[in-house]
Structures are given as C-alpha cells and as structure tokens.
Structure 1
Amino acid sequence: MSQHYLQPLFAPQAIAVFGASDQTGTVGGRVYRNLVAGAYGGPIYPIQPGPATLGDRPCFPSLEALPARVDLAILAVPATAAPKLIHACGAAGVKAALILPEDHEDATSPALERPLQEAATRQGVRLLCPRGFGFMRPGLGLNATDSHNTAEPGSLALVSQSGAMCTAILDWACAHRIGFSAVVAVGGGPGVDFGDTLDYLALDPHTRSILVYLEGLRDARRFMSGLRAAARLKPVIAIKAGRYAEGSRAALSHTGALIGSDDVFDAALRRAGVVRAKSIEQMFAAAQLFATRHRLRGQRLAIVTNAGGPGVMATDRAVEQNIRLAEPGPATLAQLDADLPATWSRANPVDLSDAATPEHYAAAVTACLKDEQVDGVLVLLTPQATTQPTQAAAAVIQAAAHTSKPLLACWLGAAQVQEGRELFAHHKIPSFTNPESALEAFAFLAAFHDNQKLLLQAPGPLASQTPPDIVGARLIVEGALSERRSQLSDLETRALLRAFHIPMAPALTVHTPNEALAAAEYLGFPVALKILAPELVHKSDVDGVKLNVEGAGTVRPAYNDLLAAVRARRPGLQIEGVTVEKMYRDPKGRELLVGIVDDPVFGPVIAFGAGGTTVEVLRDRAVALPPLNEHLAETLIQATRTAKLLDAFRNLPPVDHAALVGVLLRLSELACELPEIKELDINPLMADDRGVLALDARIVVQPRPAGRHRYGHMAIHPYPLHWVEHLQLNDGTDIQIRPIRPEDAELERAFVRGLSPEARFFRFMNTIQDLSQDLLIRLTQLDYDRELALLATTVQDGRETALGVARYATNPDGRTAEFALVIADGWQQHGLGTRLMHSLIEAARDKGYVALEGEVLANNTKMLGLMKKLGFASRISPEDAGLMWVSKALLSGALNE
C-alpha cells in the first residue's frame, strides 16, 4: 500500500504560512515564530502580501510565487477567507491544510463548515480544523501551534479535542520529562478527525503509546475503527469529559432506564482494547507508565518498602484495584534471607525495615524482578533517620536497568526525596508521590492487558449453529412499523423471541374473567396474571401483577381484582387485556435482566445484570457492544456482582451457564440482524440449573435509517460470514475462501515465508523476508468495515494451508478502495487468482465502493494480464514509470465522476 494519506500533514517536506507575521500578539505571528524557532528541516515560506521579507526570510504574496511546491499550508487568516484559499491550495498541489483562524470566528461553525468541506473535497486537500492550538511533531522539530508550549521528543502521542488540554498536559509533561512523538488538537468540524489521526499514529514508527482526550463524537464507527487499529499495535489511554447530550432521551424499558451513555462509552473503549482514565490525574499516572517500554503480562505485584504503614496502605489499594499480590517463590525468599536484614518481613510486601540501605533496596528489587511469580514491582521509600533517598533511587535504577517488567517508584515526602524523584524522571522510571496513584497506574497496565484480549475477538453476526428465523422476525417488525406502532404486542414479542430461539414462559392473552379461567385450565396451575398495557414499563408499580393463582375458583376474582387495582392506581390507562402465564416456582431460580438499547452514538448495546422489581435500586448491570461470542458474553456476565450468585452457594446449585451465555449470543444476533430494535427488555429472565426462561419482555422498534449498508448501524462490524465460500478448482482441489481472522496470524506468516523472493517482491514491492509482528497484526486483525482480506485455503496433510490472499482497504475519499493480490507460487495458473478477485470485487461492490484501484509493478506481466482479463484499465503511474496504476469501475461511469 502507498504512504499514509496524512503524511503530508504530519510529516511535510515544505510548509507555507498564510498570515505569517512578526507580531507575536497574532495567531499568524505565534505560529510562524514557533515554526522558525524549531528544528524543522524543511523550507518554511511566509505568505503575506506587502512585505518583501519577514525576519531574515523572503516573504511571498501567494502560493504561485513560491519557488517550490509545499505539502502543508497553514491558514492563520480570517475564517471567511479559508474556503477560497483551500481552492488555491488544491490548484497548487498542496495536499494538507491546518486552519487556525486569526479572528474569533470559528472555522467549525455551520456557516463555514460546508464551504470548507466542499472546497477540500473538490481539491483533494486534507483539512485539520482544531478550535485552537494546532499540532506538534517534536521529533521533526515541527511546532505548528499558536501556543507558548514546547515539547521534548518522545514516544507518547496526544490527540485532544481541546487545545487547552494540550497546553495543560504539555506543561505537566515538561516537569516530568515526558516527551511526545505528536501532539494534535482535532476539532469537531470538517476534515481530519480522531479516526484519521489515530489511524496515522498506529503506523507512525515514532509513536509507542497514545493519549486521547475527547468531549463528543460525530461518527462512532469511524472513531472505533481508528481506535481499534491503533490499539492493536500500541497502548491507548482515553479520557472523556461529560456525557453525550443524546443520553437524556426518555427510556421505555428497564434496560433503557438503566444504561447511560457513559456506560456505553466505557464498554466501547474496553472492546477497542483501550484503557480509560476517569480523571486528569489518572491520565497523567497512566501516561508515565505507558511512556516506558515495559508491558504487563500478568497482575501479580511485589511491593518493596522500608516502612510498614505505606506497605499496608499500598496493599489495601491493591486489593481495591483487584491487583493480586505476588507470592515470592522459595528461591526468591532464600535470596532475600541472604541479602536483607534479619528483621525483614519474609512476605509480600517486602518490608526492609527502617535500617534499609541502598544495597538492600537493590537486592530486594533484583530478587523480585527475577522471580517468575512476579509481574511487576512497586518500590516505596519514606525518608527516615538512616535513609539515603537519592542513593537508594540510584540503586533501584541500576537493579531495574535490564528488566522487561514494569517497575514503579514512590518516594514519599518532599524536600528530602526530591533529588531521588528527579533521578527516576531522568531515567524514565515512573515515579509517584503516593502509593494510591502508583497502584492506579499499575491497574491501568493490567486493564490494558485484559482489554487486549477483548480486542482480539472477531465474532460473526450469527453465533450459534441453529440459525434464527431472520426473515420471519423482520416481517413482524415491519408489520408493526407499517401500522405506525413503536411497541410490539405481547404476541409479536413472543414470536420474535421465538424466532431467535429465546425461551419464554407459555402465556395466553385474555379479555374476560371466563377467558382467564379457560387459559389457566389450559396452561395448568399455578398461574400468574399480568396487566397488558403498552404505556406501562413497570407493571408492579400499579399492582398489575397477581402471582401464584391456584385453583379454578380463584382465577375470575383475581382477574377482576387486578383490573380494579390498576384502574384505581392509573385512571384512564389504556388496557389491552390480561396475560395468563404459567407460574415459574423453582426456588433455585435467579432473577436476571438482559436487553438491548440503541445508543444514539454507538448503536446497539447488550445489557446484563440483576433483574426483578428492584432492578433500578440495585443497578447491578454491565454492557457490551455486539457482536458477542462466548468469551465476550462470559466477560459481560463476570463484570457484574450478580455473577457470584450464578455459581453454587448454600443449598443452590449453579445455573446452567451455557444456556445463559446462549441467550446473550441470541440477543447479539438479534442486535446485528434487526437494526430496527430500539429497546429490548427481558425482565426477569429466570436462570436455574435446568436452563433459562423469560417471564416478561418488552420490545420497542423504530424505522431503519435509510442509506445504511448491512451492519451500518453497529459501531463494530461483525466477522463477515456471508463472504465464506466453498469451491472446487478444475483439478478437483476443494478450497475455502473466507475473510481472514486474528487467529490466522501464523497461517499468514507461513504463507508469506513460502512465497518465492519474486512473489514477495511483487506483493510488497521490497525485499521483505518475513513479516514483522506489527505488519502481521495489520494484515490479520481487520476492521471489516473499511478493509477486507479474503483468504483461500485448503487442507493438506490434515492441516489448513493458505493458497492466496486478496484484500482491499478503503481510500481516504471513502468512495474507492485499494486492492492487493498474491497467490502461492505452486498454485498459480489454477484460476485461484480469478476466483479470489471475483469475490473481492463483489464484496467491494456490495460495500458501495465506486471503484477498485491498485499499483502493479510494470514487469509483473502475470498480474497485469489477470487485471486485463478482469476488466481493469491500466496506465503508467505519474509518480513512478516502473509502476502501472490499474482501476476498475464498480458502478457505471464511476471513474468519470
């Protein structure tokens, strides 16, 4: 694939500054001063009609007057002038523009947003429109901001929706000697957004970890796509201010009333493999740790201290953070006995006592880091009479010089420990002023480790072997919507759940006392009577439930009493009838709630938690974004306190866990396949040792948004099962063509290793011998929304073998995609390339792309012949005569638009 489309913005070869000035009180003056003061190696051209020079540099009246082409234009001009200048930039071949308005008029205001976007789209210019600040690339000496901040080069990137947050974090980072690979302020308007920037930083070799600060989202799918791409390769920490304004909508079900937008945002970050900080302090703490090279492989922590009190405080906080204290092995204990004072604690925390010397600290840290039972070490020091804080810090630094495990330091106090803290900062060892902050930081590492497991999950839309009746379910929903109803009737609700194989207690709807009696006799006693009124969310609030109705003589009186009680509590309530339901009486049952809520930003969300009439009081629930598989469903269950009630306790057997997971998977299927579902609420769902049973359910629907492609309503695209094919080649070889999965990493690596040098060169256009881990992740952990790789495999000697791969990735215009194809040397000339490309073309057309494009080496005659056969047009690349640019229109006339 070609270079990233944001390379001209974040790594320009030359820069032009409109509105450059020598007046530091203006935006143009500050930006120009910062650019000139940095170590940026490319030319900087000030553009300002009038003066011939600006400082010691020539000044130019326009882009046309420049001696060379530039990649980046910085527009420090009145916002109203920006659209016209964007047209000029496009005509001059400028690929990117940073807009920092000189006046108070906001470039992201509705009046200017549309003309800016139209100009940029027409001219092919990438816009960055922050509300202030700009961006920095310290490693390149590039400071394109209007702030007074500077930053040291480093491996940490910051992407923020607030320029003020950028300046605050930079100020803090300067004091802690933390450097940055990039600092970018993104606006909420047109042009480059979070998704684009994260996508670029994911591939940036200078960035090792990323901080994200945001206040709101426009496009959840694009945000999640960029976030997941970055988190697959690098640790990402996010913090969000406030809640979504849309989250204040009125909820029509238990689930909708329980789930807030912040819960959903939290679930989205976990699913993206991202760690969330809840405060600026936590973000700073996590930033220290992620700025180092160390990563966590477990949660077992050793604590080394010279005082019992701080050790106990640290232990308490570790328990609160669900951090496990490591149990040192026999060899470690023996080594510590030999090296430490006789009074040491002989346990974790490793209390060295107040007689601890720098040598004791070095010995304890060395022994703990070497122990296979220890995943990380927290070192505490309090300045006592015999303590040498600075020397102890030096000893700890030396002991940790060659470890791959995280080490955190906490020198408590102020004046006496300041020099030691500075020593830690100089050697890039995370240092904290209190044990609580240090343990929160360690918990972030642990959360990152856990969330990465969630990121690797790539479930399909249909999780079970027994397919649901999607057609029947959709007809039910369409029938209700055609009658302008937003709520399904009781019968429709039961039918829809049945279509997705979710078991529900038998029930009949009745309208008279005699019908109630007949229904009870038919279902068998005991029964429950429930009022049927669409307006009600909580039937029990109006005495609308009669339980344990026994015997024929009690049914009709119970029916009359039920109606009288409801009418007394809610006069004028529209009552559609009464439901007679077979009574569930198993004392081993646990009341649960499961449901779906359509979040206005992230789309459908699955909820699980405690059910029953006290659901709003207990508020014990967790949420997850679909699609789910068994691992994700189990993770959702375990995120609640209710999970402990599902196992055996006292005289109760464990519930049928497989059946409970099965219901969550069915809800996931329902959320994937029916975008019309606004809210679905099953409360209670009874779970016992024999299975699960829904006792009450409520479904609210809404019209499907127009113009969306399949699964366009979801923040995470499911694994595209519909592109799985089973074929047979002309020689009788059975092959499978399927989308690639994360677990195909070793299969992909073996495939590339087996290619001839020529085939590898034709595919990657360099002399690559093997796939790096980062490249392997990029090739196998796909987003499926903006990229697709189809893998052709067969079974040889009982093992699956890769024969070829065809893939596409969305181009920045969002309308076209760039493709690549490679076939194993021994399987060429078997028609496999044609089969793969036909499938890829069909998938791209189904996705709505107007064209497939790609680069082919001019001497790759076999590939060029295949492209001609498939109807691709070709021309010599204007940038390299050794490359042919091939393209195929997927819609009539698409390439001429």
Structure 2
Amino acid sequence: MSIRNLSHLFDPKAVAVIGASERPLSAGAVVIRNLLTGGFKGPIMPVHPDLRAVSGVLAYPRIDALPLVPDLAVLCTPGAAVPELLDQLGRLGTRAAVVIATDVERPALLAAARPHGLRVLGTGSLGILVPRIGLAASFSRQPALPGKVALVSQSGALCGALLDWARPHGIGFSHFISLGAGDDIDFADVLDYLANDDQTRAILLYIEQIRRRGDLVGAARAAARNKPLLLVRVPEHPDLRRPGAFLAETLATPEECFDATVRRSGALRVGDIDEMFGAVETLARGRVMAGKRLAVVSNGGGVAMMTLAEMGAPGDPRLAGLAEETRAKLAARLPAGSRIGNPLDLGLDADPRRYGDAVRVLIESAAADAILVIHAPNAMADPVEIAEAVIEAQRGHPGTVLTAWMGEESVAPARQRFAAAGVATYPTPSAAVRSFRQMVQYRRNQTMLTETPPSQWEGFAEARIAARPIIERGLAAPGGLLGDDQTRALLAAYGIPIQPATQAATPDEAAQAATRLGFPVTLTLDRPDIARRGEAGAIALGLETAAAVRTAALELRRRVSCVHPDAEQAGFTLQRSLLRPDARLLFAGIACDGLFGPVVVFGEGGRVVEVPRDHTVGLPPLNLPLARSIISRTRIARLLKASDGRPAADRTAVAELLVRLSRMLVDNPEIVACDINPLYADHHGVVALDARMRVAPWRNDESRRFSILPYPAELEEDATLRDGSPIRLRPIRPEDEPAHAELIARMTPQDLRMRFFGLVREVQHFQLARMTQIDYDREMAFVATRDLEGGGFETLGVVRTVIDPDNQRAELGILVRSDLKGTGLGRTLLDKIIRYQRHRGTRQIFAQIMAENIPMLRLSRAAGFRPCPSGEPDVLELALDLNPAPAAP
C-alpha cells in the first residue's frame, strides 16, 4: 500500500511515449494521437530510435536524450525491453510509468522500478485518462468526458466498451484507469489516492482477480467513508460447494467471503456488466437515498407492473404509501376518474403537463425517497416534451428522480435531455429499480459504518484466561481437533450456552451415565474428526433406558468402524434430550478464507444445513448491530418471528451468541474452524447441542490475519495524573460515542475553536461515529477514561493520529477537557501516542495548530516538536521526527 509518487501518474506536467510510432493502429501511434488530441497542456515527447518526428512532434532517439525529465512515461514497447527501459527512466528521475505489454515478468519489473521509486501502472494496462487536465495516456478508441466518477478496471477490453457507452450517454469521469495486472500499483493504492481527490465524487471498481489482499480492505473502508464506492467482481471460478472437514468451511465460499468484505467496507457490489453500466448512471446522476420508498409514475399500468417483479425480496425497495393529502392533490390535477395510487397510472394520453404535475406533487409531499417516472412512447405525446416537463418539475428540489423512457430511436433525444440535466435515465423500468435497489443497499452498508453498538468488551478477561489451556491442549492434539469436552468448555467460557454433557469411555459406562443424567438421552460417538456425525450414523436420539443406551453405543461403534476402523475404541458423549418444541434449528461457525481471513458463518441448521444454502458470512470482529445485520440476510430470519401460535425466537440472544463467537475468535486466533450445529433458538433464548472445533498455530498470512483489525486490547495501560488520581489509557472503541459526545459538550467554545479551527455549534452523530469507529491499521486514537462512582466511566481527553498510507507521516490532534488543564493529562496522552507511532515505525508526527494556541505550542515544544513553515500566517506546523527517513532513491 502506497500513494508514493502517484501524483506523477495522475497529474503529470510532462509525458514521454517510449516506442512512439507512425505505424497505423499500433499502440505507440494511438497513444501519441490520443495525447495530442486530448488537450494536455504539458510537453509530449515521443521516443523512437529512428524517427525524427512522430505525428508532427519532434522525437528523441533515446531516453537519455530527452530535454527534460518526464513525470510520466508510457511504454509501448515489447515486454522484453520493459525492465531495462524502466531502469533508464528511473535513473533519469521519472516517477511514474504505464506499461502496455503483457509479457513482462513481475519480479524483473519491480526490481527495475522500485529502487528509483518509479511507480508502474500495468502490465497489460490500456492506460489512464484524466479528462480534467486533458490527459489521454492510453490507446483507447474513445476519449472520456470530464466528470466526477472514477473508474478503475483490470480489464482493458471492458474499459474500451465502457468508454464507448459513456460518451453518447453524457457520462463523464474524473479518472479512467486501466489497472492491468496490478504488478505494482494495485486497487488499494489507487483507492487511497482517489479517496482524497476532491475532483472524484464516486469510485467504481471492476475486479477480475485479486491475487493478494494487501491493504485492499482498509483502503476500501477509508474510501467508502468519503464517497460512494461500487465494485463489480467476476467470479474467479464457479461457486461450487464441496464437502469439507467442517460445515463452516464448506459454506464460506470465496464469493460469499468477498461479499461480506464489501458489505463491511461500506461499499456496494453489483452483479454484472449491465448492472455496472446502471451503476455508472446512478453514480453520475443519482443521490444517496435516505430510505427505500419508491413512487412509480407511468402512462400505462402494464409498464408500471414491470417494476413490481424487481421488488419482491425482504429488505428490497418498497412502494411508498401516499397520504390522503397527497392523494387529494393528485386527484385535483389529474383527469376525473383517475385511479390514485402507487404505481400512479397517468393514462395512455398523458401529456407533459400531467407528468409534470404528478412529479411535482410527489416530490413536494416527501412521500417517497425516489420517484421512478416511466414513459412508453405513443403517437399522442412527444417524449422530449414530457422529459422536459419532468426535468422542470424536479428542478430545485432535493428529491431523487429516476426515469425510464422505453424504446430506442424515438426516445433517444429525450434521454439526451435527461443526461444534460443530470437526471438518471434507464432503458427499462426493471433496470431503474435494480439501480434503486443498489442505492438502498449502499445506504444500508454505509449505515453499518456509523451505528453505535452497545458495549461488548466487559467480562471476557476470565474467558481469555480459561481458554488458553484448552487451546494449548488442542494444538498438541492430532490434527488440532478439540475433544467434545474441550469444545464445550471453551464455548461455555465465552458465555455461549451449550447443553451439558458427560463423557463415557465404554458402552457400560455410557449406560450408567445415562441413568445419572435421566432419560431420555442423546448419545454421540466422541469422534470430533467426523464432520457430519449424523450422516455417519454416530448419533442416537431419544434413548429411554440404560439397556437402550448400551445397545446404541455398541451399534454406533460398529456402524462407524465400517469407515473408521479405530472407532471400535471411541468413547461417548451423553446429553439429556432437550425438549423445546418451539425451537428453530440454526447453525453458527467459523472458517478461514484464503484471501480475507477468519469469517463467521450463520444460517439454518440441522442435518440439511448444506441443502437450502440459507446462510450468510460476516467478518469479525462483530458487535450487536453487525450481528443483527448478519441474521437479517438469511431466509430463516423470517421464521424467527412469531407465527401460527409459536412465539418469536429471541433474536437478541442469537445476535449475542454471534458476538461471543466472534470475541472467542479474536481472543484465540489459533481457532481455524468451528461448527455449532444444531443451535436451538426460541423465546427462552439459545442453546447449542453439538459443536466441533479445530485449532492450529497462528501464522502471519492472509488466511489467518483479520481483514479488519480487532480492538488492540494490548495497548491498554494505567496512568496517573499529577495529583495521583488514576486514569485508564486505551484505544477508542465504537461504543465510546456517548462519552465522546459528553467530552465535547464539556469543552469551552474557545477550546473547541482551537481544536477544530472554527466555531463548533453541534457535533452530529455521523461525525461522532467517524471519531469513534476507526480503522486501527490506518489511524489511532487513545482516550483517557476515569471510572464513575455510580458505575460506568467518563472520557477526559483524546489524542489522535491519522497515518498516511506509506507510514511516513502521522497527523496529530489532541483534546483535553477544559476543566482538566494543568493536570498533566495532555502530556500523558501525547507521550502515549508518540510511543505508539515510534513503535509502529512512523517517520514523523506533525500537527497544525492556530498560532494563538499557546498551551498546545508549549505542550508540543516540551515533547520535542519543532516549528515548520505552514504557508498560512495564522497557522503553525509542528513536527517531531521519530525514526530516520528512508534513503532517497
């Protein structure tokens, strides 16, 4: 992950084309033509060993003959020559290159470029277009219009198709980037750059293959907090489910893990090329929805009904209800006898005025979050005039209008009017509803980033202590499989309810144990290495007598030993049969994805867990809102509701179980697989009947590292103020939002002005959420807290750093409660963050403060900060060097 020198790629002042050519249709000829016709204002320098000029521009025979150093070089040469050319460019001082050739070995490319800090886009890149500055450093067939959407694609062919589609639709781009193989510059690098680009309003990624996760998740989360991020991913292979050693491993396919990552990033995944084109339209024209209510206006009931087929799934958009006042206003403006409802049929003879009146009433009523206006052309109305009426009706209103003018030739001018007016338009009502659904889902994913979860961090210290010996015994066991008793003990330590059980070594002991437990009982062969013990015949249910238990134990051994000969010596687990007639059978588990690391799996349970495929995947760590979201994405979530006299299951208990399962995984990253099946859930709560678990020594690879860093509890420490009063220093947590709001409320207006460089009247929820829900890999905030006498805690101050993607500089901010100045709290917080950043290897901490902020100036100087020019008369920049700077390339 690095944005180092990417400004030379995206905003070059001079461009060289290596391998420029006069040969028609060659890459070197097309690139030169595009650069010359694109409007780029800087020098364009062709390099060719034999030609004196290319397209009328003076050419140079060698790289070292160039009259000035190009910021960007486009290499249109065969792959074999690329490493040597990159080395020459790097020595000259060029810091960015586009490589079009595909036949270049990645190690050779990186070995040539990296010593010079030369960033490479490609191999196999179509190039880059930045229309705002007239840069068309590509061999694309079509130019790009300027706009606010950035597109990043691995597929050069798709880039060409999208450009061909976008221009007649009036869709423009801030950046159009063909990533190619991503040998050096990858998705994470580009996301980090675009996230902070003020010319980019939204980002669209087209992903064919992710070879390495790197910092993709962190970059996606950071970008999605700033602007809409949509992704299209082509599955790398068919989504086949093959029986695995654990059910969770079978269910957590790569595609579902990728989907979970996208959701947790606050981004949105769209399904295919058609949806991608619709997504570009939505991003370019649409606004982010405040809800999922849709109003439909059309000139025919039949075409309006096309929208309903796209609105059937739970959580999907729904038709908005119309208040009586809105119905009355519509009735007053429509012909007598019109049926007022949603969808609203304006009639086949609907004219521009009728359309405009209906749209205006619906927008002003705020009955819907979006209005879909449909027009089927006919001989009684001009589609362009109706389009202009709709445009005029929505002008100046915040409501979102989507349009679907059906047909081709006769409605093309109307669509052009919509494009020019910035109104989203689609070829069919179904396409429009799909795009609206995407906007609704996007908002749902964004909401998950800003919810304030209740505290889930207390009471696990004893669980961690109890877990360690169990994990250690599992690591020493064959295959890392925990025994039934060990698995139950580990789950119980984390407060996961599980049906009590007892162990027996022989059939006679099993009969005796059953008598002590009380009948009926369930008998299970204690073989945790068997994935599906029910299918393998390793379970007997509802045994009523000791004799039945003894007979069943012998039969279990005999039956299983046909496949597993050593089962003749296996022991047994006995449980009192659980009679909960209203219970729903659920499944919960843990698996490790090769790319995105540990995941939590939830869905329908029992013996048919793999058949209905009713499950979903989530990324740990989880809190209650995230766990509830996981539950809501399954079909069985509907069955948890009350129905037919059966009381509703306790969904909060189910969510809490998922949170506890996640916490167990975070505390014990040696866990690589876990199945809890079946898991009973009813109005009494939840209880697990059976569970299996496997552990393995932790290793630092992508299959074991969390995609989202868990809370770093190891950074907590105690401290004291000057008066000896104790405080706690710890990383900030999402559930700190209320205490953080109280901290800000207790600040004087002057102190807030010094911290935030202006008058702060009120801090909104989304701002507080952004302050408390941080990515620990990209920023850090330590809070100082103090326990309250009646329970709970208060936040006394906070220190924060935001780290650049290269870990070179970290920007500092600090806030100490106004009534605690002079207590030493500020210096304590500052020392804590300095120690953290120094240990992390950050080169420098800097802060920008108002020149009149004398207390902060004194504090920083005492800690060793030095003043630096800021370029602004009222602002001081202070810097503290932590680690030596890397050698210059």
| TM > 0.5 fold call | yes
Counterpart residue type for residue 97 of structure 2: A
Partner of 1:105: 103
Return the alpha-carbon distance in structure 2 between the equivalents of residues 365 and 285 of structure 1: 22
Return the alpha-carbon distance in structure 1 between the equivalents of residues 803 and 525 of structure 2: 54
Partner of 1:683: 677
- Please state whether the residue corresponding to 1:336 is helix, strand or coil: helix
Offset at residue 180 of structure 1 (A) = 0.7
Offset at residue 123 of structure 1 (A) = 2.2
- Please state whether the residue corresponding to 1:327 is helix, strand or coil: coil
Partner of 2:197: 204
Offset at residue 310 of structure 1 (A) = 1.2
Partner of 2:443: 449
Partner of 2:538: 544
Deviations 1:334-370 (A, max 9, x none): 1111111113211111111123111000000000111
Aligned-residue Cα RMSD (Å) equals: 3.8
Offset at residue 100 of structure 1 (A) = 2.5
Partner of 2:234: 241
Deviations 1:699-727 (A, max 9, x none): 1222211489xx97111123445445565
Offset at residue 883 of structure 1 (A) = 6.7
Query: Is 1:135 aligned with 2:128?
Result: yes
Return the alpha-carbon distance in structure 1 between the equivalents of residues 753 and 91 of structure 2: 40
Return the alpha-carbon distance in structure 2 between the equivalents of residues 756 and 68 of structure 1: 50
Pick the aligned partner of 2:224 from 221, 231, 246: 231
- Please state whether the residue corresponding to 2:653 is helix, strand or coil: helix
Offset at residue 574 of structure 1 (A) = 6.9
The structure-2 alpha-carbon separation of the partners of 1:67 and 1:833, relative to structure 1 and needing over 3 Å to count, comes to farther
Partner of 1:402: 396
Offset at residue 746 of structure 1 (A) = 6.7
Query: Is 1:158 aligned with 2:151?
Result: yes
The structure-2 alpha-carbon separation of the partners of 1:748 and 1:508, relative to structure 1 and needing over 3 Å to count, comes to closer
- Please state whether the residue corresponding to 1:807 is helix, strand or coil: strand
Partner of 1:716: 708
Query: Is 1:77 aligned with 2:77?
Result: yes
Q: Are the counterparts in 2 of residues 751 and 824 from structure 1 also a CA contact under 8 Å?
A: no
Q: Are the counterparts in 2 of residues 488 and 699 from structure 1 also a CA contact under 8 Å?
A: yes
Return the alpha-carbon distance in structure 2 between the equivalents of residues 698 and 277 of structure 1: 35
Q: Are the counterparts in 1 of residues 753 and 760 from structure 2 also a CA contact under 8 Å?
A: no
- Please state whether the residue corresponding to 2:307 is helix, strand or coil: helix
Return the alpha-carbon distance in structure 1 between the equivalents of residues 686 and 768 of structure 2: 42
Q: Are the counterparts in 2 of residues 463 and 628 from structure 1 also a CA contact under 8 Å?
A: no
Offset at residue 244 of structure 1 (A) = 6.1
Return the alpha-carbon distance in structure 2 between the equivalents of residues 81 and 747 of structure 1: 63
Counterpart residue type for residue 582 of structure 1: R
Q: Percent identity?
A: 36
Return the alpha-carbon distance in structure 1 between the equivalents of residues 77 and 269 of structure 2: 37
Q: Are the counterparts in 1 of residues 523 and 541 from structure 2 also a CA contact under 8 Å?
A: yes
Return the alpha-carbon distance in structure 2 between the equivalents of residues 665 and 456 of structure 1: 18
Partner of 1:109: none
Query: Is 1:789 aligned with 2:753?
Result: no
Query: Is 1:508 aligned with 2:502?
Result: yes
Pick the aligned partner of 1:419 from 399, 413, 418: 413
Return the alpha-carbon distance in structure 1 between the equivalents of residues 821 and 110 of structure 2: 45
Question: For structure 1, which runs of at least 5 residues remain unmatched after alignment?
Answer: 107-111
Partner of 1:270: 263
- Please state whether the residue corresponding to 1:542 is helix, strand or coil: coil
Query: Is 1:661 aligned with 2:659?
Result: no
Offset at residue 504 of structure 1 (A) = 1.8
Counterpart residue type for residue 820 of structure 1: L
**Correspondences of 1:305-454 after superposition (within 5 Å):** 305-320=298-313, 322-454=316-448
- Please state whether the residue corresponding to 2:306 is helix, strand or coil: helix
Return the alpha-carbon distance in structure 1 between the equivalents of residues 79 and 373 of structure 2: 53
Counterpart residue type for residue 12 of structure 1: P
Q: Are the counterparts in 2 of residues 199 and 229 from structure 1 also a CA contact under 8 Å?
A: yes
- Please state whether the residue corresponding to 2:285 is helix, strand or coil: coil
TM-score by length of structure 2 reads 0.89
Q: Are the counterparts in 1 of residues 297 and 346 from structure 2 also a CA contact under 8 Å?
A: yes
Partner of 1:692: 686
Deviations 1:462-486 (A, max 9, x none): 6454445224423333333234523
Counterpart residue type for residue 44 of structure 1: I
The structure-2 alpha-carbon separation of the partners of 1:614 and 1:408, relative to structure 1 and needing over 3 Å to count, comes to same
Counterpart residue type for residue 812 of structure 2: A
The structure-2 alpha-carbon separation of the partners of 1:383 and 1:889, relative to structure 1 and needing over 3 Å to count, comes to closer
- Please state whether the residue corresponding to 2:525 is helix, strand or coil: strand
Return the alpha-carbon distance in structure 2 between the equivalents of residues 801 and 543 of structure 1: 57
The structure-2 alpha-carbon separation of the partners of 1:752 and 1:277, relative to structure 1 and needing over 3 Å to count, comes to farther
Query: Is 1:674 aligned with 2:692?
Result: no
Counterpart residue type for residue 389 of structure 1: P
Return the alpha-carbon distance in structure 2 between the equivalents of residues 608 and 772 of structure 1: 37
Deviations 1:567-599 (A, max 9, x none): 457666576222222211221222110001111
Query: Is 1:193 aligned with 2:190?
Result: no
Return the alpha-carbon distance in structure 2 between the equivalents of residues 323 and 821 of structure 1: 41
Deviations 1:637-683 (A, max 9, x none): 11111112222222322223332222101111122222222211000
Deviations 1:590-616 (A, max 9, x none): 211000111111111111111111111
Q: Are the counterparts in 1 of residues 590 and 599 from structure 2 also a CA contact under 8 Å?
A: yes
Counterpart residue type for residue 143 of structure 1: A
Counterpart residue type for residue 554 of structure 2: N
Single out whichever of 425-434 and 568-577 deviates more from structure 2: 568-577
Counterpart residue type for residue 129 of structure 1: G
Q: Are the counterparts in 2 of residues 458 and 719 from structure 1 also a CA contact under 8 Å?
A: no
Return the alpha-carbon distance in structure 2 between the equivalents of residues 47 and 753 of structure 1: 63
Single out whichever of 854-863 and 251-260 deviates more from structure 2: 854-863
- Please state whether the residue corresponding to 1:220 is helix, strand or coil: coil
Query: Is 1:292 aligned with 2:290?
Result: no
Return the alpha-carbon distance in structure 2 between the equivalents of residues 749 and 60 of structure 1: 62
Offset at residue 800 of structure 1 (A) = 6.7
Query: Is 1:818 aligned with 2:810?
Result: yes
Q: Are the counterparts in 2 of residues 753 and 770 from structure 1 also a CA contact under 8 Å?
A: no
Pick the aligned partner of 2:109 from 105, 113, 116: 116
Return the alpha-carbon distance in structure 2 between the equivalents of residues 641 and 246 of structure 1: 20
TM-score by length of structure 1 reads 0.88
Q: Are the counterparts in 1 of residues 333 and 354 from structure 2 also a CA contact under 8 Å?
A: yes
- Please state whether the residue corresponding to 1:407 is helix, strand or coil: strand
Return the alpha-carbon distance in structure 1 between the equivalents of residues 446 and 135 of structure 2: 33
- Please state whether the residue corresponding to 2:36 is helix, strand or coil: helix
Q: Are the counterparts in 2 of residues 481 and 702 from structure 1 also a CA contact under 8 Å?
A: yes
Single out whichever of 239-248 and 260-269 deviates more from structure 2: 239-248
Single out whichever of 531-540 and 306-315 deviates more from structure 2: 531-540
Q: Are the counterparts in 2 of residues 460 and 720 from structure 1 also a CA contact under 8 Å?
A: no
Q: Are the counterparts in 1 of residues 753 and 759 from structure 2 also a CA contact under 8 Å?
A: no
Return the alpha-carbon distance in structure 1 between the equivalents of residues 136 and 552 of structure 2: 77
Return the alpha-carbon distance in structure 2 between the equivalents of residues 396 and 704 of structure 1: 60
Q: Are the counterparts in 1 of residues 453 and 624 from structure 2 also a CA contact under 8 Å?
A: no
Deviations 1:89-147 (A, max 9, x none): 4444433232223xx523xxxxx322432444332232222422021111111111122
Pick the aligned partner of 1:634 from 625, 628, 633: 628
Q: Are the counterparts in 1 of residues 23 and 29 from structure 2 also a CA contact under 8 Å?
A: yes
Query: Is 1:487 aligned with 2:485?
Result: no
Return the alpha-carbon distance in structure 2 between the equivalents of residues 778 and 58 of structure 1: 53
Q: Are the counterparts in 1 of residues 352 and 386 from structure 2 also a CA contact under 8 Å?
A: yes
**Correspondences of 1:586-665 after superposition (within 5 Å):** 586-665=580-659
Query: Is 1:16 aligned with 2:8?
Result: no
The structure-2 alpha-carbon separation of the partners of 1:372 and 1:806, relative to structure 1 and needing over 3 Å to count, comes to same
- Please state whether the residue corresponding to 2:610 is helix, strand or coil: helix
Question: For structure 2, which runs of at least 5 residues remain unmatched after alignment?
Answer: none
Q: Are the counterparts in 1 of residues 3 and 805 from structure 2 also a CA contact under 8 Å?
A: no
Return the alpha-carbon distance in structure 1 between the equivalents of residues 586 and 56 of structure 2: 74
Offset at residue 382 of structure 1 (A) = 1.8
Offset at residue 248 of structure 1 (A) = 7.4
Aligned residues: 876
- Please state whether the residue corresponding to 1:184 is helix, strand or coil: strand
Return the alpha-carbon distance in structure 1 between the equivalents of residues 46 and 746 of structure 2: 51
- Please state whether the residue corresponding to 1:669 is helix, strand or coil: helix
Single out whichever of 532-541 and 467-476 deviates more from structure 2: 467-476
